[in-house]
Amino acid sequence: MSSVPPIPTNIRGRLPRSFYTRDARIVARELIGHILITEIDGVRTSGRIVETEAYLGAEDHASHAYRGPTNRNRPMFQAGGHVYIYFIYGMYYCFNVVTGTEDQGQAVLIRGVEPLEGIDAMRDRRGKTPRRDIDLTNGPGKLVMALGIEAGMNGTDLMTDPRVRIKKGEMLADDDVVATPRIGITKAAELPWRWIARSALKPRRST
């Protein structure tokens, strides 16, 4: 018989479930500096997380989970460590990490990463070819395209899915992380639940 081992799940090196089963605001802050990795058809791409936003459940008017579970937001009500992907503006997908415990309906939107591995593949996937590497992944829709994230990954588990995982990176000091209001929302727009690495503030312009 074949001696080929099963596809490795690479649990080693991943952030543990306990990292995600906390309040979205804590997870959003602490995700800054960790590494988002995809492995699609043998192509590996990765980036350092530099911008996040926290979305809570029934108490957060800006959250997809505000009105309780629906067909669309169902993955948000899974246990922390799962993936929530939604389609937005008729054209783009956004990638979220579910946080908290089952049924809380929390998630963290990944809004920006700094390209690390597979930059050539990122450029291929983006079609356009931005001058600077950072412009490949400095937006929630952009990083989804660059990393090859697809709707089929919606609801998957970051603990075990070989296609997408988050590995421990370098924890940033509080002085190196800035909290600001969330982007692109009209409800609860004043809450400072967006976190961004100070090093990522300069390159970013509009949006």
User: Which residues of the shown chain bind DNA in the complex (CB under 7 A)?
Assistant: 53, 55, 62-65, 67, 70-73, 76, 84, 86-92, 94, 96, 107, 109, 126, 128, 135, 139-143, 182-187, 205-207
Q: Return the number of the residue (12 or 128) whose C-beta is nearest DNA.
A: 128
What would the DSSP string read from start to end of 146-183? Answer: HTT--GGGTT-BTTT-TTEEEE--PPPPGGGEEEEPPS
Amino acid letter at 41? Answer: D
Q: How far is the CB of 143 from DNA (least distance, A)?
A: 7
Smaller CB distance to DNA: residue 40 or 97?
97
Nearest one of 20, 15, 159, 166 to 100, comparing CA atoms: 20
First to last CA, the chain: 55
Quick one: 168 or 187, whose CB is closer to DNA? 187
Please, what is the minimum distance in Å from the beta carbon of residue 162 to DNA? 24
Q: How far is the CB of 170 from DNA (least distance, A)?
A: 24
Nearer CB in complex with DNA: 118/140: 140
Cβ at position 152, least distance to DNA in Å: 15
Q: Shortest gap between Cβ of 205 and DNA (angstroms)?
A: 4
- Strands 43-55, 106-117: pairing is antiparallel
CB of residue 55 vs DNA: minimum separation in angstroms? 4
Of the pair 3, 71, the CB lying nearest DNA is at: 71
**Residue with smaller CB distance to DNA, 79 or 162:** 79
